[in-house]
């Protein structure tokens, strides 16, 4: 009986350590209805989750491929590709919640909170964007700015990365209030 109680106590104490394994997010994910259409492939490089997000082209534009990194161990990572080049991100995984803070060279800040469902089959991404520099208004609605990442066809995808960067037709400014965008995803593999 004593052995059973000791084993149960060990499992209760060790469970949070097992739950903080970043592999819980690794896999292929698709956006849920009500979330802009996109897919994400999440892989692991050490203790950093690497996200490859694919967004279909909008208004006849090219598809977008966005690569972003999310450290899970409290460390800081410097991103070195596409629109995130030069951005610094720190992140920490606690249980089934990953929290990351990213600052772009422009001063725009992203606070991401990923929450994995208990069954591991879905997660939400709540992203708060603040400090966005002033950008000119766009009459085309879904135009894409230069300076983005490769879309796989040899063309440059825009720095305005659709819904992931908060595209919504409004103009941002340094004095604008932070805005929060919520996404949800279901595991496909």
Whether residue 1 lies inside any domain: the answer is no
Whether residue 85 lies inside any domain: the answer is yes
Residue 44 burial class via C-beta count within 10 angstroms: exposed 0-12, middle 13-18, buried 19 and up: middle
Whether residue 14 lies inside any domain: the answer is no
State the pTM of this model.
Answer: 0.71
Whether residue 28 lies inside any domain: the answer is no
Q: Which domain holds residue 64?
A: 41-187
Residues 128-176 have pLDDT tens digits of 999 976 555 544 433 333 334 443 333 333 333 334 443 333 444 455 7
| CATH number for position 149 | 2.40.128
Residues 85-120 have pLDDT tens digits of 999 999 999 999 999 999 999 999 999 999 999 999
Sheet holding 73-78, edge to edge: 64-71, 48-55, 39-45, 27-31, 179-187, 122-130, 109-116, 97-103, 88-94, 73-78
């Amino acid at each position: 009986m004593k052995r059973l109680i000791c084993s149960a106590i060990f499992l209760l104490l060790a469970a949070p350590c097992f739950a903080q394994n970043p592999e819980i997010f690794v896999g292929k994910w698709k956006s849920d209805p009500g979330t802009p259409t996109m897919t994400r492939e999440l892989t692991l490089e050490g203790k950093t989750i690497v996200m490859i997000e694919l967004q279909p082209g909008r208004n006849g534009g090219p598809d977008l491929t966005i690569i972003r990194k999310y450290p899970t161990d409290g460390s800081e990572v410097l991103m070195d590709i596409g629109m995130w080049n030069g951005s610094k991100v720190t992140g920490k995984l606690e249980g089934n919640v990953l929290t990351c803070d990213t600052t772009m060279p422009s001063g725009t800040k992203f606070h991401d909170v990923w929450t994995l469902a208990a069954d591991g089959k879905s997660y939400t991404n709540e992203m708060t964007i603040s400090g966005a520099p002033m950008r000119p208004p766009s009459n085309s609605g879904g135009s894409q700015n230069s300076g983005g990442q490769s879309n796989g066809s040899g063309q440059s995808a825009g720095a305005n990365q659709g819904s992931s960067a908060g595209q919504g037709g409004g103009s941002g400014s340094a004095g604008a209030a932070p805005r929060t965008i919520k996404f949800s995803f279901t595991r496909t593999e």
